[in-house]
């Protein structure tokens, strides 16, 4: 029964969000709540020589100033700071000692009766440093970057470059057509609307109830216990609503440690909300210098791909993803070689940001493919069709589904691609040059072990719970849709509980894996509920389902019904009343096969139109069509919103976003959303999202792939390719700003 799955169901949390009833981490109250404010380091590297908090402490209403010298005990072993998704290295420990790793690092925490007092007093804390020379410039660390080796056992480091195949260098040398280029993506910072915040409620016996902005309540719960040496039962982490996170909340951020430390020091509830500037002291999308070389046959098939990348991390952790592997995965090509180096800067550790690795790597690949198409005098879609691969090129497995051809076809049709004159600078609209560009997108279709509990009551209401988050993607809504269909109940009768560490197990919400995982998890637990109902129904005298097996019945319209004979039915209420059962409570875990016979990815084709003022060089993205193949779409409304959001971010990546560092001070100059440019309404015009049909009965029982991240992948390259088509000018370093078009 699919009454709700696949429909444009409105957000279950929509009303609460637009009316302000939905509470975020920094909005929960407690009696005698104290407020904290961070004092941040003004140097990028060195040691704290002295902290003078006297002036701050003399302000009326200031309760305490915590520093590394007077904070409560926290774990000294840095392995205690390893969260579920920590990279290799030694995690940052806030207020641990006198060491400064980056500008903006928290060095003291002022706690006061009011937030304004805390913030003012924080400006009065004097910190003296013994400064050391720092490096924040990627190009200056280019020579010292170290190589990540392809491991013989990929489980050792799943994010190391894949092993090469064939012999790329000889194939390149022999290729009839070659293209090589260096592409650059700068550091980009997370700017979710909701600021990072923790409200730590100090309960009797010293238990902590923590409202934190995070993508994983259980990850934060384990982390806090480990860092503060607390028992699991004494720390509960909640995050009912998240105002955007996109990867910045996969790891616990320092606000939760500081707020919990303060609550323990003062034995009272404490709230800490970071400022927008302080948010720039958390993670960021690593800058990436990449060189791509493509060797092709004159007929437009690929012979060789090499992809070399340098990305950025901190001095203390090795954050990276498998950036270079995407290029060898997407297209059919017998020879491929990858190299990835990591450069250390005096900055915080870089982190995941929507479609981490693919957003940056596929940008370069898809610009390079466009350049190759120009050199081969081939339509860019035609080149991609000639290189089309029905198999995963890394593992040489067939795909469980791959409807990328349909994305190209339907996207091109919706865009009107056949009207394109391939000659650069050939299309105009008054004083503006018009450019049309396209690109392919690819992302993973991952699934993670998850546990779901369903409590069904005799009045036909069900509560479905799981510790996953809803980071704004629509998880509440799709969970309710799936549960309503699986239990045969109206969606109004479903209540969703999530974002609470005491609920059944869930990994962080990330990687686009929760929709597929939790939906199939609900299906698994629903089956257990159905089986229990059938047992009850069969105990009834003259039960119409006396001989039915579990596979022969389904739940629909509040009844257990025989699939063979719809007249054979028992209502949920009857079965439960007869059995003397007030509630059915089932909890099941679901796991997924990963090394099966099939490979799984999501794909997209993006088409972009730009209009460029010929004299000034101002670029406008006037139209984007994104055609996506992502398995079964659970909710066309929230899914379209996800893709549209990805497209908007892709516009920002192409034209606006760039973290600017004053390398003399090692400090970010544009740490605010006035000067860190993101697309605004006027930058976003006509965006059309298409979902192509992609049935997939092999990936999981419900055929779901997930689509939180695919929306951004390829967008920046489609726009960059459109800018080339409009102007005849190739800009290979993002963002494409007016000055770069003039040089
Ligand atoms: Mo995503 S970048 O795994 O939140």
Domain 144-187+285-446+597-741 and domain 448-590, same fold? Reply is yes
Characterize 470-502 residue by residue with b for buried, 16 or more Cβ atoms within 10 angstroms of its Cβ, and e for exposed: bbbbbbbbbbbbbbbbbbbbebebbebbbbbbe
Helix axes 217-228, 254-266, angle to 10 degrees: 50
Closest atom of ligand 1 to 215 CA is 4
- Give the separation between CA 239 and CA 194, rounded to whole angstroms: 12
- For 448-590, CATH gives 3.30.365.10
Locate 462 and state its tokens.
């069900």
User: What's the pLDDT tens digit per position in 47-72?
Assistant: 999 999 999 999 999 999 999 999 99
C-alpha 450 to ligand 1 mean position (Å): 17
For CA atoms 468, 474, 477, 480, give the dihedral sign: negative
The whole-angstrom separation of Cα 355 and Cα 673 is 22
Residue to probe by mutation, ligand 1, list 242, 243, 246, most atoms within 8 Å of CB:
246
Partners of 313 in the β-ladder: 344
Q: How many CA atoms lie within 13 A of 285 on its CB side?
A: 28
According to DSSP, the residues that pair with 214 across neighbouring strands are none
Closest by CA position to 136, among listed 87, 99, 89, 102:
102
CB 154 within 8 A of CB 340: no
Q: Quick check: bond before 626 cis, omega within 30?
A: no
Distance in Å, CA 520 to ligand 1 centroid: 20
User: Bridge partners of 295?
Assistant: 178, 304
C-alpha 508 – ligand 1 centre gap (Å): 9
Our CA angle for 133, 138, 144, nearest 5°, is 75
- Please state the φ and ψ torsions of residue 140, each to the nearest 5 degrees: -75, -20
Q: Name residues contacting ligand 1 (CB within 6 A).
A: 215, 246-247, 250, 352-354, 356, 510-511
Domain 144-187+285-446+597-741 CATH (choose: 3.50.50.60, 2.40.160.20, 3.40.50.720, 3.30.365.10): 3.30.365.10
Ligand 1 atom closest to the Cα of residue 510 is 3
Ligand 1 centroid, distance to 204 Cα (angstroms): 36
Q: What spacing in Å lies between the alpha carbon of 727 and ligand 1's midpoint?
A: 34
DSSP 433-469: EEEEEEEEEEEE-----EEEEEEEETTS-EEEE-S--
User: What is the 608 CA–ligand 1 centroid distance (Å)?
Assistant: 25
- The rounded Å distance from CA 664 to ligand 1 centre is 32
Nearest CA to ligand 1 atom 4: 247
Closest CA to 654 of 552, 740, 728: 740
- Architecture, CATH, for domain 18-22+32-133+190-279: Alpha-Beta Complex (3.90)
Residue 425 CA to ligand 1 centre (angstroms)? 38
Q: What is the distance in A from the centroid of ligand 1 to the CA of 352?
A: 6
Residue 138 Cα distances to 37, 314, 318, angstroms:
31, 11, 15
> Residue 83: what pLDDT?
97
State in Å: Cα 365 to ligand 1 middle: 21
Closest-lying ligand 1 atom to the alpha carbon of residue 509? 4
CA distance 492 to 9: 12
Q: pTM of the predicted model, to two decimals?
A: 0.97
Q: Is 514 exposed, middle or buried (0-12, 13-18, 19+ CB in 10 A)?
A: buried
Please report, for the chain, the start and end positions of each structural domain, with discontinuous segments joined by +: 18-22+32-133+190-279, 144-187+285-446+597-741, 448-590
Ligand 1 centroid distance, CA of 355 (Å): 6
Please report the atom of ligand 1 found closest to the CA of residue 246: 4
Work out the burial of residue 250: count CB atoms within 10 Å of its CB; fewer than 13 is exposed, 13-18 middle, 19 or more buried.
buried
CB 366 within 8 A of CB 604: no
Contact yes or no for 437/724 (Cβ under 8 A): yes
* H or E stretch at 526: helix 514-538
Cα separation, 256 vs 93, whole angstroms: 12
CB 610 within 8 A of CB 650: no
The per-residue pLDDT for 1 is 65
Residues of the chain with pLDDT under 70: 1
3-state DSSP assignment of residue 342:
strand
CA dist 361 and 310 (Å) reads 11
SS3 723: helix
Residue 383, both tokens:
């080149």
Task: Please identify every residue annotated as catalytic.
Answer: 709
> With DSSP H G I counted as helix, E B as strand and the rest as coil, what are the percentages for the chain, rounded to 5?
30, 25, 45
Encode burial over 412-422: b for 16+ CB neighbours within 10 A, e otherwise.
bebbebeebee
Cβ–Cβ < 8 Å for 115, 29:
no
Pocket test for ligand 1, best of 709, 710, 711, 712 (most atoms within 8 A of CB): 709
Which of 285, 354, 445 should be mutated for ligand 1, with most atoms under 8 A from CB?
Answer: 354
Rounded Cα distance, 570 and 576, in Å: 10
Q: Which of 351, 443, 708, 711 most suits a substitution to test ligand 1, by most atoms within 8 Å of the C-beta?
A: 708
Closest atom of ligand 1 relative to the 355 alpha carbon: 2
The per-residue DSSP string of 664-713 comes to TTTEES--STTTS----GGG--EEEEEE-----TTTSTT-B---TTGGGT
Pocket test for ligand 1, best of 510, 602, 711, 713 (most atoms within 8 A of CB): 510
């Amino acid at each position: 029964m699919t009454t709700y799955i696949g429909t444009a169901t409105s957000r279950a949390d929509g009303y609460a969000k637009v009316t302000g009833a939905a509470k975020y981490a920094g909005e929960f109250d407690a009696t005698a709540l104290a407020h904290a404010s961070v004092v941040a380091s003004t140097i990028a590297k060195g040691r704290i020589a002295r902290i003078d908090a006297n002036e701050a402490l003399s302000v009326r209403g200031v309760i305490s100033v915590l520093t590394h010298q007077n904070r409560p005990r926290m774990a000294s072993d840095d392995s205690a700071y390893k969260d579920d998704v920590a990279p290799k290295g030694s995690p940052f420990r806030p207020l641990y000692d006198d060491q400064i790793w980056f500008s903006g690092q928290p060095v003291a925490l002022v706690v006061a009766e009011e937030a304004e007092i805390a913030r003012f007093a924080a400006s009065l804390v004097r910190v003296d440093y013994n400064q050391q020379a720092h490096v924040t410039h990627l190009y200056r660390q280019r020579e010292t970057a170290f190589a990540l080796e392809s491991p013989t056992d990929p489980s050792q480091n799943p994010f190391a470059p894949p092993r090469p195949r064939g012999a790329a260098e000889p194939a390149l040398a022999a290729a009839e057509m070659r293209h090589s280029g260096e592409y650059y993506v700068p550091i980009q910072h997370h700017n979710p609307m909701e600021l990072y915040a923790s409200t730590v409620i100090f309960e009797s016996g010293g238990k902590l109830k923590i409202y934190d902005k995070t993508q994983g309540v259980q990850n934060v719960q384990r982390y806090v216990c480990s860092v503060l040496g607390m028992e699991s039962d004494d720390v509960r982490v909640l995050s009912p609503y998240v105002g955007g996170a996109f990867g910045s909340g996969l790891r616990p951020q320092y606000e939760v440690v500081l707020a919990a430390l303060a609550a323990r020091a003062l034995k009272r509830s404490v709230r800490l909300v970071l400022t927008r500037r302080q948010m720039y002291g958390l993670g960021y999308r690593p800058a990436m210098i990449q060189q791509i070389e493509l060797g092709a046959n004159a007929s437009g098939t690929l012979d060789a791909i090499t992809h070399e990348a340098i990305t950025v991390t901190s001095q203390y952790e090795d954050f990276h993803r498998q950036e270079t592997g995407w290029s060898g995965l997407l297209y059919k090509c017998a020879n491929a070689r990858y190299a990835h180096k990591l450069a250390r800067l005096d900055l915080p550790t870089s982190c995941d940001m929507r479609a981490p690795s693919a957003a940056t790597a596929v940008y370069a690949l898809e610009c390079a493919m466009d350049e190759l198409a120009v050199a081969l005098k081939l339509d860019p879609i035609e080149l991609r069709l000639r290189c089309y691969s029905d198999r995963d090129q890394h593992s040489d497995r067939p795909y469980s589904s791959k409807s990328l051809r349909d994305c190209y076809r339907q996207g091109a049709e919706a865009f009107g691609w056949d009207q394109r004159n391939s000659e650069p600078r050939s299309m105009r609209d008054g004083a503006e040059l018009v450019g049309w560009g396209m690109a392919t997108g690819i992302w993973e279709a991952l699934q993670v072990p998850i546990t779901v509990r369903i409590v069904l009551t005799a009045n036909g209401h069900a509560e479905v719970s799981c510790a996953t988050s809803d980071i704004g993607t629509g998880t509440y809504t799709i969970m309710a849709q799936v549960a309503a269909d699986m239990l045969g109940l109206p969606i109004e009768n479903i209540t969703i509980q999530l974002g609470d560490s005491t609920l059944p197990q869930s990994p962080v919400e990330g990687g686009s894996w929760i929709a597929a995982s939790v939906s199939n998890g609900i299906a698994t637990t629903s089956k257990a509920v159905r089986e229990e109902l059938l047992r009850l129904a069969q105990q009834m005298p003259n039960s119409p389902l006396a001989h039915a097996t579990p596979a022969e019945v389904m739940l629909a319209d509040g009844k257990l019904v025989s699939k063979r004979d719809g007249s054979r039915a028992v209502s949920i209420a009857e079965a439960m009343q007869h059995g003397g059962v007030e509630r059915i409570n089932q909890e099941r875990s679901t796991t997924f096969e990963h090394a099966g016979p099939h490979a799984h990815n999501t794909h997209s084709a993006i088409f972009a139109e730009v209009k460029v003022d010929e004299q000034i060089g101002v670029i406008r993205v006037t139209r984007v069509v994104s055609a996506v193949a992502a398995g079964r779409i659970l909710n066309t409304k929230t899914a379209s919103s996800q893709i549209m959001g990805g497209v908007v971010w892709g516009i920002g990546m192409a034209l606006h976003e760039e973290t600017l560092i004053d390398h003399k001070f090692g400090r970010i100059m544009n740490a605010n959303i006035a000067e860190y440019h993101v697309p605004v309404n006027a930058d976003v015009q006509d965006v059309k999202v298409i979902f192509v049909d992609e049935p997939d009965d092999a990936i999981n029982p419900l055929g779901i792939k997930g689509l939180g991240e695919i929306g951004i992948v390829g967008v920046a390259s489609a726009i960059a390719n459109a800018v080339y088509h409009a102007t005849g000018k190739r800009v290979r370093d993002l963002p494409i700003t007016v000055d770069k078009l003039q040089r």
